[in-house]
């Protein structure tokens, strides 16, 4: 911000402020022209609302399904790197890949981008052992309610099934898509078929590519598009309602290169599927892969002028899981601990406070208002019962 007072930079900050602060800012700039640098200093000294000084013009929300806080903060669980109860075929190979002598080293081996980049340059919540408790508001502790809470900012007790019909609650994505500056610049990709219903695509008015739904067709004149569509149609469908994360990743990258949406959702699903299958080796590998996919996406974003220095990344999960020899496979209201989740944020408006401690009141439902606030909007003005934005100071 220091010294950055080109007309474009100034106008961007001013348009993200409230009407009162817009009037004040424009009056101040007029008064001190041509020394616009002085206006910047005066605004900073007055500690004006963060929206006025916001650098974020794009937000990417990534959710990795069913990832326990235990692995995120402690890395691989030695007890589960086993044939029983972990279902691991090659224990030596998994230990070589993911076991280290300390929790810090283990978590970095498992999720290097999260810990070496996001947590270092941003913030991460949810380490119960350090008094940072990130929890769902919903009491169901499974996927549809978790995604709905995250994206709508509320717990609707009627949303009580993974087979629930199109979501009656508008998501923050749908709401933002209604503003002229975001319209036609919102998109969602999710490996699970339910995302069409979670976002209520028909009503929402922006594209949602869920499960085996390709963004393109086999007859597309673009060879990359056609090849992607062929793969969507020909690869083995191990889960009917869940596409391979690696295949979806290629569509996400191509879409970002071509369309450059300002608001993007990406939902990876394999870790949850492999946990339900009792394959801890595949849980670790798919989580490591997902971390790599996010790193790859972030690298692409930083290579594009629209995103570089103006993008906030939020990474979280829809629910937790249980513990012990069998509980790690499951989640739901009857599984102790399955409501504990985690959340990480990195971006130009997020102070680099790292791993947060003694923050007991973080809720999943705060994500929606946080997304809006980062883009200079007040989601609670639309949905008054939504939970407030996270305090990232």
pLDDT for position 54: 58
Alpha-carbon span 152 to 253, nearest angstrom: 26
pLDDT for position 393: 86
pLDDT for position 251: 97
Q: CATH topology for 58-382?
A: Alkaline Phosphatase, subunit A (3.40.720)
pTM: 0.87
Cis preceding linkage at 85, omega within 30: yes
Q: Contact at 8 Å (CB) between 360 and 131?
A: yes
Residues of the chain with CATH 3.40.720.10: 58-382
Question: In the numeric block, which tokens belong to residue 176?
Answer: 């933002």
Alpha-carbon span 358 to 236, nearest angstrom: 46
Nearest-CA neighbor of 391 among 333, 339, 345, 348?
A: 345
Q: Contact at 8 Å (CB) between 269 and 245?
A: yes
Please report, in tens digits, the pLDDT of each residue of the chain (393 residues total): 444 444 444 444 444 444 444 444 444 444 445 444 444 444 444 444 444 455 999 999 999 999 999 999 999 999 999 999 999 999 999 999 999 999 999 999 999 999 999 999 999 999 999 999 999 999 999 999 999 999 999 999 999 999 999 999 999 999 999 999 999 999 999 999 999 999 999 999 999 999 999 999 999 999 999 999 999 999 999 998 999 999 999 999 999 999 999 999 999 999 999 999 999 999 999 999 999 999 999 999 999 999 999 999 999 999 999 999 999 999 999 999 999 999 999 999 999 999 999 998 899 999 999 999 999 999 999 999 999 999 998
Q: What are phi and psi of 200, to 5 degrees?
A: 50, 65
Question: In the numeric block, which tokens belong to residue 3?
Answer: 């010294």
Secondary structure (3-state) at 25: helix
pLDDT for position 48: 43
Pairing of strands 354-355, 123-125: parallel
Q: Which residue shows structure tokens 């220095």?
A: 309
Question: In the numeric block, which tokens belong to residue 370?
Answer: 């946080």
Sequence length of the chain is 393
Alpha-carbon span 22 to 34, nearest angstrom: 19
């Amino acid at each position: 911000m220091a010294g950055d007072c080109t007309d474009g930079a100034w106008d961007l900050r001013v348009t993200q402020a409230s009407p009162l602060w817009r009037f004040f800012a424009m009056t101040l700039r007029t008064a001190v022209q041509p020394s616009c640098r002085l206006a910047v200093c005066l605004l900073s000294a007055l500690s004006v609302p963060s929206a006025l000084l916001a650098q974020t013009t794009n937000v990417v929300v990534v959710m990795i399904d069913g990832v326990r806080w235990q692995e995120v903060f402690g890395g691989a669980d030695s007890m589960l790197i086993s044939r029983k109860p972990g279902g691991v075929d090659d224990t030596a190979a998994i230990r070589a890949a993911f076991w280290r002598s300390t929790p810090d080293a283990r978590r970095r081996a498992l999720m290097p981008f999260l810990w070496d980049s996001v947590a270092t340059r941003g913030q991460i919540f949810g380490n119960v052992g350090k008094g940072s408790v990130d929890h769902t508001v919903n009491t169901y502790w499974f996927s549809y309610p978790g995604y709905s809470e995250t994206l709508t900012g509320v717990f609707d007790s009627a949303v009580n099934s993974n087979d629930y019909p199109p979501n009656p609650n508008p998501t923050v994505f749908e709401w933002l898509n209604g503003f002229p500056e975001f319209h036609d610049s919102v998109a969602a990709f999710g490996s699970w078929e339910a995302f069409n219903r979670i976002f209520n695509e028909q009503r929402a008015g922006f594209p949602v590519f869920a499960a085996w739904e390709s963004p393109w067709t086999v007859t597309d004149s673009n060879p990359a598009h056609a090849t992607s569509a062929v793969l969507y149609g020909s690869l083995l469908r191990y889960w009917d309602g869940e596409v391979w994360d690696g295949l979806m990743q290629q569509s996400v990258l191509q879409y970002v290169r071509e369309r450059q949406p300002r608001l993007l959702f990406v939902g990876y699903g394999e870790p949850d599927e492999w946990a339900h299958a009792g394959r801890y080796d595949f849980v670790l590998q798919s989580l490591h892969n997902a971390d790599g996919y996010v790193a790859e996406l972030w690298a692409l974003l930083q290579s594009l002028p629209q995103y570089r220095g103006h993008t906030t990344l939020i990474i979280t999960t829809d629910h937790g899981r249980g513990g012990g020899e069998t509980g790690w496979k499951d989640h739901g209201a009857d599984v102790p601990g399955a409501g504990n989740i985690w959340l990480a944020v990195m971006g130009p408006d997020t102070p680099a406070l790292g791993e947060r401690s003694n923050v007991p009141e973080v809720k999943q439902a705060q994500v929606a208002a946080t997304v809006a606030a980062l883009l200079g909007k007040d989601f609670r003005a639309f949905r008054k019962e939504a939970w407030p934005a996270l305090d990232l100071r």
